[in-house]
Amino acid sequence: LDELEWLVVMQLFELSKMAMSGTIGYKLRQQISKALQRCSEAIHNAISRYNTQAAALNPPCPPISWKDIAEYSFLGEFDLLHHSRADVRDNDWVKPAFRQAIVKFFKLQRAHEELIHVGVEVRCLWTSIHDEEVHIAKVIDELLQQFAKVRRKRKNQFHLMGTARKDPRRSPRYI
């Protein structure tokens, strides 16, 4: 059983690599395809060995078919092969409809958690925007005050320069 499990897990990993075909090159896809063919033969042999040993047990374990193995599309479904440890195939959570309902339930739970986190992040973002607006207004006021001081200083300098032309004694050099 452990060998069969190992072979199926290996095949599932290879299949997941094939699903990423857009990210891998042609040669690597060909190597993965050949590995899957070799693995399929090994899985068929392991299934037949398992079925002969399962029939010899007291009470006999139910046989596994290639169809059962082929239905496993991802690793989360694979733990159903542990027939020798405990027969769980009759439990509700083994049935695809129940499994899908459980997965959807947990996704819904996670969505509720995400909504709470989004609410917190929205408040943080709103506070940050408000603080930034206050900071920008403060900086603009400071710049306007500095601009007014510079403008007054320049105005005084121009005024002094204008009066210095009319009366050289009032030049900034003499003051």
Tell me the per-residue pLDDT of 42-63, one tens digit each, with 9 for 90 and over.
777 777 887 887 788 777 777 7
Residues 154, 145: Cα–Cα separation, whole Å: 14
User: 112 pLDDT band (50/70/90 cuts)?
Assistant: very high
If you ran DSSP here, which 8-state letter would residue 63 be given? P
Q: Helix (H, G, I), strand (E, B), or coil: what is residue 41?
A: helix
Residue 107, pLDDT score: 92
Residue 76, pLDDT score: 46
The sign of the CA dihedral 77, 81, 83, 84 is negative
Place of tokens 């068929």: 44
* Mean per-residue pLDDT, 65-85: 54
Per-residue pLDDT for 159 more than 50?
yes
* Mean per-residue pLDDT, 152-175: 67
Look at 169 and 160; give whichever has higher pLDDT: 160
84 in Cβ contact with 49 (< 8 Å): no
Per-residue pLDDT for 130 more than 60?
yes
Residues 110, 169: Cα–Cα separation, whole Å: 83
